[in-house]
Amino acid sequence: MKLPKKIFNIKIFTILALTIVSLQLILLKTGYFSNDADNKEYAEIQHPLEDKKTIKDGVVVDNKKDKKDITEKVFEKNTKKQKKISKKNKDNYYTIGDMVQVPNRLKPVKIQAPPKGMDIDNIDLTPDYINNNGLNEPFKDYVVFYPQHQDDEVLWAGSVIRDAINRRGASHVFIALVSSGTGHKMFKTEQFKGMSDIEKAEYRNREFISSCLSLGIPKENIIFIYKKRDDWKTDFNLEKEFAIEMENKYKSVTHFTHSYKYDDHFMHRANGETLYKLWQNGQIKDLRFYLKPFLVKYVDASTNTLNIYSASSKTDYDMIRRACQAYKYTNVEKRRAGIGYKTDGLSFNSLVYDKNEKSYVIIQSNKTKG
């Protein structure tokens, strides 16, 4: 018996709908629709230098990954996965800790954004004057910071830099910039159209130099590692060479850089991995990692010691605040565009709104597991 056309169409529609739903379920199960940025394993996160499409023989050949490439969901996912593995093995040790209160993870850092209408120009606070910086691991005789980009030095290490200068003297503290920063999304705007990479880099460098001077770094101690190349490409081999040179020259050196593991920016981790390998091989002896505050809670407390640095005086607070303002200042004639602040104003405002302008550093206790 032949089915009426209407019933036949409904039957066909139902079969198609069920087929589509089934396919969607299969694709969801296989992770087809998931964001790649939310599926990275820690093994991949920790080894950006192995991404040959982006970094070839230590040289950045593609700036597309000069950005935040993973979300906080990644850290949560890896943490939960490690907890599951640990419990299955009846192991009390959680590599990253888990998402509930356990003793193996560092305590979360509370970050407070300022009220609407308040920013680095009108926020002016006084620190507590409770100086606990002396409880931190002492610096060696010389201290070197390796920010990947212009602004990383003040955002993540401002109070560390001030404390190093207070304790070791400005002449013993260096800031060595690793990248020209030309992969920045701001350079895709009309304002920078037709400029060479060198011209773009100098826009960011004017902000960087002003920031470093505001922090109290002597001009001769502001180093541009990437300028050793004619093309100004980011070359992690040059960072490696510079670190070894400083280690051999001064003997007693503390090196500070980004974490190779607890950072959401691809190039930050590549920077950290470069120096981490030197430390593993014994080519540098004292390596420490500065962190973004929101990532502190994912750090394995059983293999890392947290050092918290604060502005120890009103002078320190004001110097860090002025360093932040260097990234907001705009002046067409002086070729200043406020690039740093335009892209991450919240981080600058939050830092200055913290009256102690805290910086967070981890010191890894062993060379194999962080």
Q: Classify residue 17: in a domain, yes or no.
A: no
Range of the domain at 274: 133-364
Q: Specify if 218 maps to a domain.
A: yes
Q: Angle CA(282)–CA(61)–CA(345) in degrees, nearest 5? A: 85
Q: How many domains does the chain have?
A: 1
pLDDT value, residue 240: 98
Cα three-residue angle 232-330-178, rounded to 5 degrees: 25
Compute the C-alpha angle 294/152/344, nearest 5°: 65
Residue 347 has a CB neighbour count (10 Å cut-off) of 21
User: Is there a domain that residue 351 lies in?
Assistant: yes
Domain-embedded: residue 271: yes
Within a domain: 277: yes
Token pair recorded at residue 92: 């009390």
DSSP reduced 3-state for 337: strand
* pLDDT value of residue 6: 52
338 CB neighbour count, 10 Å cutoff: 18
Residue 167 in any domain: the answer is yes
Query: What pLDDT score does 210 carry?
Result: 98
Q: What is the pLDDT of residues 255-299, one digit of tens each?
A: 999 999 999 999 999 999 999 999 999 999 999 999 999 999 988
Q: What angle do CA 41, 43, 44 make, to 5 degrees?
A: 70
Provide the CB-side half-sphere exposure for 166 (13 A, CA): 18
Tell me the two tokens of residue 83. 């907890």
Q: Within a domain: residue 189? A: yes
Q: What is the CATH number of the domain that holds 234?
A: 3.40.50.10320
Phi, psi of 251 (to 5 degrees): 70, -55
Q: What percent of the chain has pLDDT over 70?
A: 83
Q: Which amino acid is at 269?
A: R
Query: Is 62 contained in some domain?
Result: no
In order along its 370 residues, the chain shows pLDDT tens digits of 554 555 556 666 676 666 665 665 554 444 444 455 566 776 778 789 999 999 999 999 998 889 888 888 888 787 677 667 666 765 544 333 333 444 477 889 999 999 999 999 999 999 997 778 999 999 999 999 999 999 999 999 999 999 999 999 999 999 999 999 998 888 888 899 999 999 999 999 999 999 999 999 999 999 999 999 999 999 999 999 999 999 999 999 999 999 999 999 999 999 999 999 999 999 999 999 999 999 999 888 888 999 999 999 999 999 999 999 999 999 999 999 999 999 999 999 999 999 999 999 999 999 987 7
87-118 pLDDT, tens digit per residue, is 676 554 433 333 344 447 788 999 999 999 99
